[in-house]
């Protein structure tokens, strides 16, 4: 799901309550977010409701995200990252609530996200190098991909993953941390200026 080239400008207009800017961003990003929500929720209707709620939430939160942009660094926070994290949290919240709209949508922690969201430039670079990064993902053992998949798309805790895979909790913890450490180091290489033998 690419960070739109015009994301910073769109976010400024959305913060000024420009509904047509919200529509532009929606046209660019809703297909990727709807795919994510459908991966998490079995009901297409629930998935559509989640994406709609997340865009409305952005409409409300955009001024706060823009406030972060007033920092000395002029490059804005990534809208794609915010929308992705928010859609995942909202879809998992709805999944846990059995299709009902959960209180707070499971998004509470993201209220503070403006302080630490990646820059749009970093997410754009990550999208540009997607093919290389897919190669990185394929370097992970199949088992670790399964652990990550259960955590990210089904919202399973490490304890729940251990039960689902009939494995000791300690092993799941080791696997999840090893997978995340590997991906973190590879992303540093791919996003950094130095090249690694990937």
Partner 1 sequence: MDCQHLDDLYELYLLGLGGPGGAAEIDAAEIDAHVERGCPYCRERLREATQVVYFITHNVRPMRPVRPSPEMRAELLRRARKLRSSD
With CA atoms as reference, report the closest residue to 62 among 100, 1, 19, 5. 19
In the structure encoding, which two tokens stand for residue 32, read together? 């990727």
Tell which positions 159-178 bind partner 1, by CB under 8 A. 159-160, 173, 176-177
Residue 116 makes contact with partner 1 by CB under 8 A: yes
Cα(144)–Cα(169) distance, integer angstroms = 14
Least Cβ distance, residue 191 to partner 1 (angstroms) = 7
Residue 157 makes contact with partner 1 by CB under 8 A: yes
Yes or no: say if 122 and 82 are a contact pair by the CB < 8 Å rule. no
Interior/surface letters 117-145, b for 16+ CB within 10 angstroms, e for the rest: bbbbebbbebeeeeeebeebeeebeeebe
With CA atoms as reference, report the closest residue to 75 among 11, 2, 1. 11
Tell which positions 20-79 bind partner 1, by CB under 8 A. 22-23, 26-27, 30-32, 34-36, 38-39, 48, 51-52, 55-56, 59-60, 78
Number of Cβ within a 10 Å radius of residue 49: 18
Is the Cβ of residue 60 or residue 100 nearer to partner 1 in the bound state? 60
Give the interface segment with partner 1, choosing from 4-12, 97-105, 133-141 (CB under 8 A): 133-141
Please select the residue that binds partner 1; options are 75, 132, 145, 198, rule is CB under 8 A.
145
Please select the residue that binds partner 1; options are 42, 132, 149, 196, rule is CB under 8 A.
149
Please select the residue that binds partner 1; options are 41, 79, 80, 90, rule is CB under 8 A.
80
Please select the residue that binds partner 1; options are 64, 101, 165, 187, rule is CB under 8 A.
187
Cα(129)–Cα(100) distance, integer angstroms = 37
**Contact residues for partner 1 (CB under 8 A)?**
1, 17, 19, 22-23, 26-27, 30-32, 34-36, 38-39, 48, 51-52, 55-56, 59-60, 78, 80-81, 84-85, 88, 112-113, 115-119, 122-123, 126, 130, 133-134, 137, 145, 148-149, 151-153, 155, 157-160, 173, 176-177, 180-181, 183-184, 187-188, 191
């Amino acid at each position: 799901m690419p960070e739109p080239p015009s994301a910073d400008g769109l976010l400024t207009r959305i913060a000024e309550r420009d509904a047509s800017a919200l529509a532009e961003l929606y046209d660019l990003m809703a297909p990727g977010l709807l795919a994510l929500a459908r991966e998490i929720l079995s009901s297409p209707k629930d998935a559509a409701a989640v994406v709609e709620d997340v865009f409305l939430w952005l409409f409300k939160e955009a001024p706060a995200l823009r406030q972060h942009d007033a920092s000395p660094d002029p490059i804005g926070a990534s809208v794609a990252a915010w929308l992705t994290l928010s859609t995942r949290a909202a879809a998992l919240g709805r999944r846990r609530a059995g299709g009902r709209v959960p209180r707070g949508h499971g998004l509470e922690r993201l209220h503070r996200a403006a302080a630490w969201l990646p820059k749009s430039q970093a997410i754009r670079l990550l999208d540009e190098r997607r093919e290389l990064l897919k190669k990185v993902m394929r370097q992970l053992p199949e088992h670790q991909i399964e652990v990550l998949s259960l955590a990210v798309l089904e919202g399973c805790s490490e304890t729940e993953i251990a039960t689902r895979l009939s494995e000791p909790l300690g092993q799941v913890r080791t696997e999840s941390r090893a997978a995340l450490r590997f991906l973190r180091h590879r992303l540093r290489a791919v996003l950094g200026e130095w090249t690694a033998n990937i």
